[in-house]
Every structure is written in C-alpha cells, then in structure tokens.
Amino acid sequence: MSESPAAPPVRTEEMHAAVRRRALPVAICGIICALIGLSLTLFSPVTPFTPPNFVGMNLQFCAMLIGAGIFFYAKPTPGTQTALACSLAAVLLGMGGTIFYTMQTVKLRTLKEQRELETVTLLATTAKEYAKTHDGKYPADLLVFLESGLIQPEQLRSPFTMNPKSVLFTDYKGGTGKITSRDELRALVEESSDYLYVGGDLRLAPPGLEKELLVAFSSGAIMRVSWAIATADGHAEFINVEETHRVMQANNDARAKMELGALRPPKFIEEAWKEAASQPGR
C-alpha cells in the first residue's frame, strides 16, 4: 500500500514574520532588476554590428525568476499583499523586457540583411560610375576602390561574417608593415574583405545585359543558406545554393555576348555545390 504524500509543513508565527520581513525587499530588488534591464534594452542602440543588450536580457530574466519565487514564497503568509504585488510587477516588467529584446533581435536580422544588400549594391553602382569616367572600364580590383576613395575600408566588413582579418583595414596602406608591392597590398585587401568583387574585366554594357552581369558577392554564406549578389544595373538580392546555377549561367551567357571569358564560380559557391551534392535528396 503506497504511502500518502507528506503534507507541507505548517508555518509558525515566527516563520510568517520572517517571510514578511524578507519578501518585500527581495521583490523590490526584482523590480529594480527589471527596470535596469528594461532601460538597457530600450536605450542601447541596435545596429548591424551591435546586437541587443544581452546584460539587459539577463537582468529581465532574473527579475522574472525573483518575482515568481517570491510570489510562491510569500503567498501562504498573510499580510504580504504588497510583496505579492511587487513580485507580480517584477514578473510583468521582466516579460515586457523580453518582448522588447525579441523585437530588437528581429530588427537586428533585418538591419544586417539591409547592410549586406547595400554594400554589394554600392560596389556595383560605384564601379559603374567609375567606368563612365575611365573609358568604360570597371575598376580592376577592390584596391582601386580604396585608392580612389570610392569606398571606405570599413564598408567592406559584413555584419554576418565579421572577418577577423578585416581589422587590417584600419590602416590598409600600411598593412602589417611587410607590404612591399601593390600585388601584396591587393591580396591583403581581398583576403581581408567580406565581399568579393568580380567585375575587374567588365566594361559598360547595354541595359539588357547589365541585369545579368555579376559584379559583387557577399563572400560568406548568410546563416549557411544564401549569399548577397549585385549585378551591373545595381540590382541586389539574396540567392540560395539552388539559384546559384541559374545566376552563374545567365552571367556567363551575358559575358559571352560581350566577348568576355566565363566567370568561374567563386570558391565558396563551388564548396556549397559539393556540399549540396553530398546530401541525399538534393
């Protein structure tokens, strides 16, 4: 015969008095945690490179735990209505803060995607403007963009990949102090950049071909799913691995009409193709 569960211990008057002394101050601490966390969440700027304030999120989570704990701790004791109200306030404020944090996280992803598209668009449109004043020829490489002041080094950083080598752009002309030739400097820039420029041999093209001619890629896969691309007409979009075959073929067809050689798929695209081919059902 199974034993009945033990009844919860009955609190003595001394225990009730201790609960009344302790519950309210701790519940107020929960409210303070929630308010500080909410302030950090609301007043910390969110940019493509700055995520929502994680400390604020932790404080809001702590506030919810404190509020819930004090509520169930103080509820069996009479005379703790103020503590119960404060504990509920801590929980509600903490929940409100987590909602704001979630909204900011969604906003962060949107800002990152906008920045990615803006950068590849900038490379495509800037290269076209450069060609208009240089006998129709596009910049030969990314270093030309920097040398001509067309873009700034920090614009070649992606909020998704955050290439650690891009710190070299803070003084790309000086580099590591071991740069002795333009080729080495160009290699440094291309290695440090989070974007791939593929328009080095392009020239101004008819509008019908511009929309197919690739100029720039984001060199890192976004969430291992897609890449940002920009074409010569300034159009930018995200493409996934299945769409890369179509995009590369259309680009090379347009290049052939301009009597240019085919563009070899970037290394990261080839690696994505191999990975997709190795997965069953794809």
Check residue 90 and give its pLDDT: 96
At residue 210's C-alpha, the angle toward residues 48 and 115, to 5°, is 0
Check residue 224 and give its pLDDT: 67
Contact 254, 205 (CB under 8 A): yes
Compute the average pLDDT of residues 93-116: 93
Report pLDDT digits (tens) over 45-83: 999 988 999 999 999 999 999 999 999 999 999 999 999
Q: Collapse the DSSP code of 238 into the 3-class scheme (helix H, G, I; strand E, B; otherwise coil) and give the result.
A: strand
Residue 208 to residues 134, 191, 251, 259, 261: CA-CA distances in angstroms? 22, 33, 12, 15, 18
Q: In the chain, where are the structural domains located?
A: 13-108, 110-278
The angle that helices 13-43 and 81-132 make with each other, rounded to 10 degrees, is: 20
Compute the average pLDDT of residues 77-100: 94
- Write down the mean pLDDT value for the chain: 88
- Strands 226-231 and 236-240 turn out to be antiparallel
Report pLDDT digits (tens) over 3-22: 556 556 788 899 989 999 99
Report pLDDT digits (tens) over 132-175: 999 999 999 999 998 888 998 888 888 887 655 554 555 555 55
